[in-house]
Amino acid sequence: MPSNIVVPEVGESIVDARVAKWLRKEGDSVAAGDPLVELETDKIDLEVAAPTAGVLKRIDHKDGADVKVGDVLGVIEESPGAKAPGAQGAQVPSAEVPGAQGAKTRATPSARKVAEQNEVDLKSVKGSGDAGRVMRRDVEKASVSEAPPQPVAAKQEEAKKPAAPPLPPAPQRAPGERSEERVRMSKRRATIAKRLLEVQSTAAMLTTFNEIDMTAVQAMRARHKESFKERYGINLGMTAFFVKAVIGALRAFPRINAEIQGDEMVIKHYYDIGIAVGASEGLVVPVLRDADLMSFADIESQTRAYAKKAEDGSLSLADLKGGTFTITNGGVFGSLLSTPILNPPQVGILGLHTIKDRPVAVNGQAVVRPMMYSALTYDHRIVDGSEAVRFLVRVKELIEDPGALLLE
């Protein structure tokens, strides 16, 4: 009896997807629950598993095809006595399914890409994900461990040199050659492009700037980093300070924590702060829900967990849904100054940048301080310029006097 492989419902906001890669080919034997095909959506990537044991009889939509929720991706001819996943005894051991011994190792799309780039055999990598799934970090760890050992003297000499980014190999090109390459955008990249264009044509975006003296925060981190890590098992970073400072400023200027619906302003009295994370497939913004109720340790831990999931491709829709305000940090890539673009329907986004020692005037004296430029992009339709400027000043005040965060 045939069983259809269907594009599943992932969430209300996702109606279509793209077939990224079939993990099996027509004629392969599969067990119930085996991953069959990887799908890309504009928010997350996912695997579709075999609904029952049998043989992959037909593939209706090949790699690269665009599909919609409910479309039939292919058909499995069920084996006699096969049961669907979730039923008692539905999980069929791979040894009992003909051909299952040659099944591909379960791995995320990003893990497969890194394995291919570094020539790592996925079968030799121990997975740390759910049910032993191989994650990107597992492949990266394996690729490092497989590198040939270096002599001690060479390692010591390397340690003295400043790290420099590796240069790509110079392309071999004949005079007059004008080669080009066409690369289809992923669903996520195409959606990012579409939404960035939409927000620039629908919102009245304006950006205001300020600079922040990071001396006090750096001193506080230095005093407490050891005890913080010993107590919570994580490093005390910058994220928690800025999340708390942003919440304090949003309380003072609530219209920056709002959105526009028709001719009404919906002002949020809760604080779901989005943290922009750069991933290989494009920027994603997981959300710290009820961030005002979170401790410094909660914020740092959750942010690091999101960063790992973004690289692994394992972020869920629940991780990305909603958000009332966004923080983006181009400083981690070395950006000195930028104008961030709004994350609709939000009306405010804070841009952070790299920290540089610069001479500044303090009490009439020139001193060198660790300084950071900050930028607030806001929707001028409901946020006045004076509000935006004072919001950014309030963030500056709280960061420069981090003890005041306790009063917030």
Written as six digits, the tokens of 339 are 């104008």
Rounded to 10 degrees, the C-alpha dihedral 235/236/238/240 comes to: 120
Chain position carrying tokens 């420099």: 164
Q: For this structure, is 353 an active site residue? A: no
By residue count, the chain amounts to 408
Taking alpha carbons only, the member of 286, 361, 267 closest to residue 327 is 286
63, 66, 384, 401: the active-site residue: 384
Sign of the CA dihedral running 277, 279, 282, 284:
negative
Q: Are strands 348-362 and 325-329 parallel, antiparallel or unpaired?
A: parallel
The angle at the Cα of 198, spanning 350 to 320, to the nearest 5 degrees, equals 55
Tell me how far apart the terminal alpha carbons of the chain are, to the nearest angstrom.
64
Q: Listing from the earlier edge strand, what are the strands of the sheet with 29-30?
A: 2-6, 72-78, 54-59, 29-30
Rg of the chain, C-alpha, whole Å: 25
Q: For this structure, is 16 an active site residue? A: no
| Whole-angstrom distance, CA of residue 264 vs CA of residue 259 | 9
74-to-7, 99, 177 alpha-carbon distances in Å = 10, 19, 43
Residues annotated as catalytic (active site), given as ranges: 380, 384
